[in-house]
Every structure is written in structure tokens, then in C-alpha cells.
Structure 1
Amino acid sequence: MPKTVQIRDIDDAVYAALVRRAAEEGVSVPELLRREASRLAARPSISEWLRRTGRRPSQVTTEEILQTLDSWRGEWPDAGR
């Protein structure tokens, strides 16, 4: 069942920016906020994201990354000096 959320004490400048953004997208401010709330709720929190990504051991070392970047960059222009 849908719920209603009320946000109080929004600064005038923030509300004006929301009105502009909603107008650019051709929607109302409540619809814009509904979309943004859905997007926010679908994303993991920072702590959840860190837990998820922290469990994946990297198969590539920092040294390998630096060597690959160096090979992509090539010789420095003043390396022969």
C-alpha cells in the first residue's frame, strides 16, 4: 500500500531548484521526488556497498596495474634527456 512522506522546512532555493528540475523533465515536484526516492531506495547504502565489494579479492596487484598504465602511456617525451 502506498505511503505518504512529508518533508518540512525545505529552503526556498532548494525548492526553486526542484521546481526547475521538475519542469525540465515535464513532471510535478512530487513525481520528481517519487522517482528520486525510488532510485535512492534501490541503491545499496555505502556500508552495504563496501561490505559487498570488500569480499571480492582482487586478482590484479597494484604493481600490475601500474605496469599496464606505463605500457599504455609509452615513453615520456623527455625520457632520453
Structure 2
Amino acid sequence: MAKVIHIRDVPDSVHAALTQAAQSQGISLTRYVQRELKQVAEREHLVRHNVEVIRRTQEQVSGSIDRETILKELHDGRTE
């Protein structure tokens, strides 16, 4: 079931910017904010996944790993 979120004390400038962005895309402010929040949640999920990939990679190599190894594992993990 969908949940309701109330946000208090949103600065006028932020509200105006969000409203303008929603209008420019031809959608309501509510729909725009819902979409943005979904993207934030998905990004957080991806960050947690990346942390897990890094942890597994460190266990596999048993020591320090270079940047290229981490980036390769992250890329491979995203395609799984």
C-alpha cells in the first residue's frame, strides 16, 4: 500500500524550483517528487550493492586492491 509523506519547512526557493521542473515536464509536483524519490531510493540500493561487491572482492584477493579491479567488479556486478 502506498504511504503518505509530509515534508515541512521546504524553503520557498526549493519549492519553486521543484514546481518549475515539474511544469517543464508537464507533470504534477506530486508526480515529479515521487519520481525523484524513487530515483534516490534506487541509487541507495545501488550504493549498498556496490559496497557488497567491494567487500566480496576484498575477501577474494585477501589484501589491498587497486581501483581498476574495484571498477571492473562493480561493472560486472551491475550486469548480473
Q: Same fold per TM (> 0.5)?
A: yes
Using structure 2 for the length normalisation, give the TM-score: 0.60
Unpaired runs of 5+ residues, structure 1, are: 63-81
- Which structure 1 residue ranges, 4+ long, deviate > 3 Å from structure 2? none
Identity %: 31
- The structure having more radius of gyration, on CA atoms, is 1
Higher helix share: 2
Unpaired runs of 5+ residues, structure 2, are: 59-64, 67-80
The residue number in structure 2 matching 1:56 is: 57
Using structure 1 for the length normalisation, give the TM-score: 0.59
For residues 12 and 49 of structure 1, the distance between their equivalents in structure 2, rounded to whole angstroms, comes to 35
For residues 52 and 24 of structure 2, the distance between their equivalents in structure 1, rounded to whole angstroms, comes to 36
* Higher relative contact order, chain-length normalized (CA < 8 Å, sep 6+): 2
